[in-house]
Structure 1
Amino acid sequence: MNQILYDKKDYQELLLEMLEPLRKWFSEGKARIRLSGTGAGYSGNIIEMETFARPLWGLVPFWAGGGRSEGWEQIYHQGIASGTDPQHPEYWGQCGDYDQRFVEMAPIAAGILMAPEILWDPFSAEEKDRICTWISQINDHELPKCNWYYFRILVNLALKNRGMPYSQERLESDLAYMDACYLGDGWYVDGVSDQKDYYCPFAMEYYSQIYAAFAQAEDSDRCRRLKKRAAEFQREFILWFDWEGAALPYGRSLTYRMAQAAFWPASLLSGAGNCDVGEIKGIVNRNIRYWLSKNIFERDGILNVGYAYGNLTMAERYNSPGSPYWSMKIFLILALSDHHPYWSAQEKPFPRQKRLSRLLYAEMLIQQGEQGAFAYVPAVYNKNVLGHFVEKYGKFVYSTKFAFSVAHSCENLVEAAPDSMLAFVLEGEQQVYVRRRSIRYGVETDHIWSEWSPVRGISVRTEIWPVPEGHIRRHKIISDKSAAVFDCGFAVAMYEDGYQTESGNGESFAEVRNHLQRCRVTAQCGGMEPYFIQAEPNTNLLYPNTCIPAVWGRIEAGITTLETFVEI
């Protein structure tokens, strides 16, 4: 695929190349895309509708910015007409409360709003009525209290702009709720959840900037406020990227991949912020190239579920075969006019950042440097009902250089793959216990601390101090039982050139390295020995086979203090 991204034509060609493999999987009426593969927490019919809708996140801006591809226009015209016709065999159906189809109404609404000459004007009056009737179902049902409210906002804004019946009451109340989710410095919390993750940039901020771009005439004060928030957010969110284009693997929905950078096109669309256009182009382009260098496509060119390779272990219950096409959000850049400065701007290197930054409302420290971006977090997140939240939010440190690992089980260290964790194995057991949530925590300007309990009878206070070469961990453990304890570093790829392990017992350390990565874990106190965990395959997000360096020792009932230096 073309990775030289300069003018609009380059981005248009890349979009169409990524979508081309989907063509042969459309149903006869074009209202569904039928990919083989895994299931999700909703029916196969809804999965097929989802897979139909998600490419629109790329095609709608393509059309809005003047792009044309007759075949895709015909497909989506026919598909929307079929899917919204109750008499058609491929009708998308009646929705219920909390229905996944509400998510997929958003790109259709965005098309009506942003590209009416393709997704509105060509339909007959009767077809338009059926489309409006189908998407208006979102006004009659309950939604989760989270970014889903923006789906209803987009639907009502689109209906309003086309002069069709809509709910002003829903529009106002939903916008008020989104305002209530705002924290500061551009950060939103995703409704009733506690974690701060990509649902701020690729959902809350993303949709708010579309709203700000298209509701300016009737809601100018709010739009001005939304753009100001995006400008503030730019200053902090840039820290989630590294010099090579990778963004932090942190939190849920990571299979959406290059949607990580979709906020930047959204901020350009609304005209928010003061970031240099060349710097934004560099961030966007490097992130796209980063993903195109990974094994993210199946043999037939369809995006797979996973991160740097196909990996169902890390998936959430809402990840269907079509879900990864949320990544098309990055192509919002195509909605920019042909004369926008972005298209002639030179791609600039990643701007130099402070070594250590405290993100107050995101509740994390970010360390920037040649080794990448590292996020120090306190293990604060909502109920774990979607898949592997302990691993996605509970590690000590998250890194663009190493990514994190998800457990196959907690039955032993190999399957638990407890990278960037302090792991306990009780006397006479094999079960692995790690930090799940913090009981109390603090994010200071130069370190982070948390108090947590891996299992009944053991409590831990952990302090983590970033230093230029890595970080120092200090643990105070109060236990009423004996246990083996393993302080684990980052997972390092095994089958890369230069792979090697090294250990020492005088200075107790374990090191794993290859030509891409290096992690050394050194005990700063006595009684600890080196240890290597060859993790179960397909636990790490970046590499299928990894080895985790660690130091370990035995603790008895009482108080134990450990100090470890994790060097990169």
Structure 2
Amino acid sequence: MPTPSQLFGPAPTTREGWAGALLALAAPATRTAAAGPGRMPVHASMSDPQAVWFELVARPLWGLAAHAAGGLSGADRQWEEVRHALTRAVDPGHPWYVGRPADMDQRLVESAAVGYALAVARHHLWDPLTERQRQQLADWLSTAASATPWDNNWCFFPVLAAVGLRSVGVPVDETRVAAHLDRIEDFALSDGWYADGPGTPERPGSRDHYVPFGFHFYGLLLASLKAVDEERGRRYRQRAAEFAGQFEHWFAADGAALPFGRSLGYRFAQGAFWSALAAADQPAVGWSTARTLAQRNLAWWWQRPVLAEDGSLTVGYAYPNTGVVEQYLAGGSPYWGTKVFASLAATEDHPFWTAPSAPDLPPGISSQPAAAMILARDAAGNVVALAGQNAPAWNPRGGTAKYAKFAYSTLAAFNVPTGEPSLEQGGFDSALALSDDGERWRTRSAGESRIDGETLVVRWQPWPDVTVETRLRHTDGGHLREHRITTGRRLHTAEGAFSVPKTGLGATPHNVTERPGLARATADTAVSEIVCLAADAARREGVVVLPLPGSHLLHPRTALPTLRGVLDPGEHVLRCRVSLTRR
């Protein structure tokens, strides 16, 4: 599969280049959407076919609307194709009609993009329509604005739908809008973070990329449009500024963002927060830093084979792979990534576009209690986060792997299980897997966590008679793990380091070391090692596991250094050091 650089040229570095990149990315989407639902690529998704098609219709609007808001030209064809598809999608008498937005329905997500586009680009999306088409669009969007969203970041969607309606003179239920905005306040945490949904003070909802490309993105747009009261807008801006100082530590020097949590298949959206700061003219970490982080992340993605031959975005992460994304992602879903082009709404003389590049962040530690993380940046600029969150209770595909591993890395990413949790199918990198039969394995998916100084402590219970307290701490060149295990049953153990690309031809990987107490795998890009500490070396054997192909976010085939052992009933302490070094 081609990379954006192969089809569209080098990664853009100017506002004009960003505008051209957006149009190049959007063109296959709007063209396919305008051909109707029957032309959509087939992808397994929990959404119905009409909703899947409507994603492709609406999601490019996040970028196209910003492009129009910034006074840029050259998108006439894309807008014509969007109008062609959208007017039919909301026409109850047309075969392409997507249906009325129901409570907690996928169509509510897309109503937000339509609402934002009406608010900032009505000359493209509203003014050219006939009176009948306007009425049908207003009726459809009014239904979306009145529907009940899921109780998380979705609370913004009916609000944005209402903002679009207001902008074209259609009355909205302001009481309902205020209720959604008030509910969003309940999700606010310290340091500018939000919880993506309800929880408890000890176990809040997920804290992942939905905080920057969801909560803050929408809040900044609403503040910039003066679509909320002055005090609420001030809070949105203040929280975004506080959050920026934490989120900058999620990006490596090479531009890679920390892969953590769900919806990683939205790819470019990882950098959307930095662009939204520009769209809202909200200073935070300095415009040089904001631009550099957005620019580097986009350039990192520009080198990944994420496109089909026609230039359309595929489903997956760093390569086409439906197995590592959630059950709600389909062919049009990745175009949420056009949110990264929000900065096009800022004029060409805005400091986001004119500021010089920022220097790399120095090596160091960033403790982020609201996210239950301690992040470390090494001398090469790679980032590793020690993590203490839980897998979401609603069970997204790969939820445990995406939230509950011990560590996440910008260089190594992670594996997602592909089936019955054997070692090869489980791909248990950055995890301690336990089994009472040596065949079926369990890892931490939930439990308690706390930050104790520079140590992250997680307590978990894979069986009623097995309790594990894990202590994680960064050290020079890696991190230390200590597991205090109390077990009422005999346990097989398998503790994984980070996965690296599998090298060599044939079934056996090259450049691996396996011996008592140590396992190492050397690839072209990195060296991953796990080594026992103290007396543990005599009890655990070093092996290199080969997770099933297609289970990893970055690499189709991987090798995973692992320590294996057996524990009798009783109390035990396992200690090891895990390192990952760029080559």
How far has the Cα of 1:234 moved from its partner?
0.6
SS at match of 1:109: helix
How far has the Cα of 1:91 moved from its partner?
2.2
1:60 is aligned with what amino acid? A
Asked if 1 retains the 8 angstrom alpha-carbon contact of 2:497 and 2:562, the reply is yes
Alignment of 1:81-96 (within 5 A): 81-96=87-102
Q: Show the counterpart of 1:156.
A: 162
Q: Show the counterpart of 1:212.
A: 223
1:557 corresponds to which of 564, 569, 572: 569
Q: Show the counterpart of 1:70.
A: 76
d(CA) in 2 for partners of 1:410, 1:396: 21
1:460 corresponds to which of 461, 464, 468: 468
Q: Show the counterpart of 2:32.
A: 25
Higher mean C-alpha deviation, range 408-417 or range 16-25:
16-25
Asked if 2 retains the 8 angstrom alpha-carbon contact of 1:496 and 1:515, the reply is no
Alignment of 1:300-339 (within 5 A): 300-339=310-349
How far has the Cα of 1:153 moved from its partner?
0.8
Q: Show the counterpart of 2:44.
A: 39
Q: Show the counterpart of 2:66.
A: 61
Asked if 1 retains the 8 angstrom alpha-carbon contact of 2:29 and 2:332, the reply is no
Asked if 2 retains the 8 angstrom alpha-carbon contact of 1:491 and 1:548, the reply is yes
1:367 corresponds to which of 376, 382, 385: 376
d(CA) in 1 for partners of 2:145, 2:418: 40
How far has the Cα of 1:257 moved from its partner?
0.6
How far has the Cα of 1:198 moved from its partner?
0.8
Q: Show the counterpart of 1:48.
A: 53
SS at match of 1:361: helix
How far has the Cα of 1:23 moved from its partner?
5.0
SS at match of 1:188: coil
d(CA) in 2 for partners of 1:141, 1:17: 34
Asked if 1 retains the 8 angstrom alpha-carbon contact of 2:68 and 2:121, the reply is yes
- 1:265-323, CA deviations, whole angstroms, 9 ceiling, x for partnerless residues? 11122122332222222111110111111121123322111111111111111101111
Asked if 2 retains the 8 angstrom alpha-carbon contact of 1:227 and 1:271, the reply is no
The normalised TM-score by structure 1 is 0.95
1:224 corresponds to which of 234, 238, 246: 234
- 1:155-204, CA deviations, whole angstroms, 9 ceiling, x for partnerless residues? 11222233211110111111111111111211011122622111100000
How far has the Cα of 1:531 moved from its partner?
1.3
Q: Show the counterpart of 1:481.
A: 489
SS at match of 2:370: coil
2:77 is aligned with what amino acid? G
d(CA) in 1 for partners of 2:176, 2:365: 42
- In the alignment, structure 1 residue 358 sits paired with structure 2 residue 364: no
Asked if 2 retains the 8 angstrom alpha-carbon contact of 1:384 and 1:390, the reply is no
Q: Show the counterpart of 1:385.
A: 395
Asked if 1 retains the 8 angstrom alpha-carbon contact of 2:465 and 2:488, the reply is yes
Higher mean C-alpha deviation, range 104-113 or range 189-198:
189-198
SS at match of 1:284: helix
d(CA) in 2 for partners of 1:95, 1:283: 36
SS at match of 1:278: helix
SS at match of 2:153: coil
d(CA) in 2 for partners of 1:442, 1:391: 20
Q: Show the counterpart of 1:490.
A: 498
Structure 2 unpaired stretches of 5+: 1-7, 200-204
How far has the Cα of 1:114 moved from its partner?
1.1
How far has the Cα of 1:27 moved from its partner?
4.2
d(CA) in 1 for partners of 2:473, 2:348: 48
How far has the Cα of 1:486 moved from its partner?
1.5
d(CA) in 2 for partners of 1:113, 1:556: 65
How far has the Cα of 1:4 moved from its partner?
4.3
d(CA) in 2 for partners of 1:102, 1:511: 48
Cα RMSD, aligned residues only: 1.9
Higher mean C-alpha deviation, range 397-406 or range 477-486:
477-486
- 1:353-387, CA deviations, whole angstroms, 9 ceiling, x for partnerless residues? 5x111112112111112251111111324314221
How far has the Cα of 1:325 moved from its partner?
0.8
- In the alignment, structure 1 residue 117 sits paired with structure 2 residue 123: yes
Cα 1:185–1:273 shift into 2, 3 Å? farther
How far has the Cα of 1:342 moved from its partner?
2.3
Q: Show the counterpart of 2:357.
A: 347
Alignment of 1:158-237 (within 5 A): 158-192=164-198, 194-215=205-226, 219-237=229-247
Asked if 1 retains the 8 angstrom alpha-carbon contact of 2:544 and 2:559, the reply is yes
Q: Show the counterpart of 1:99.
A: 105
Cα 1:373–1:544 shift into 2, 3 Å? same
d(CA) in 1 for partners of 2:14, 2:445: 46
Q: Show the counterpart of 2:441.
A: 432
Structure 1 unpaired stretches of 5+: none
d(CA) in 1 for partners of 2:226, 2:451: 37
d(CA) in 1 for partners of 2:400, 2:432: 13
Higher mean C-alpha deviation, range 5-14 or range 465-474:
5-14
Alignment of 1:413-452 (within 5 A): 413-427=423-437, 429-438=438-447, 440-452=448-460
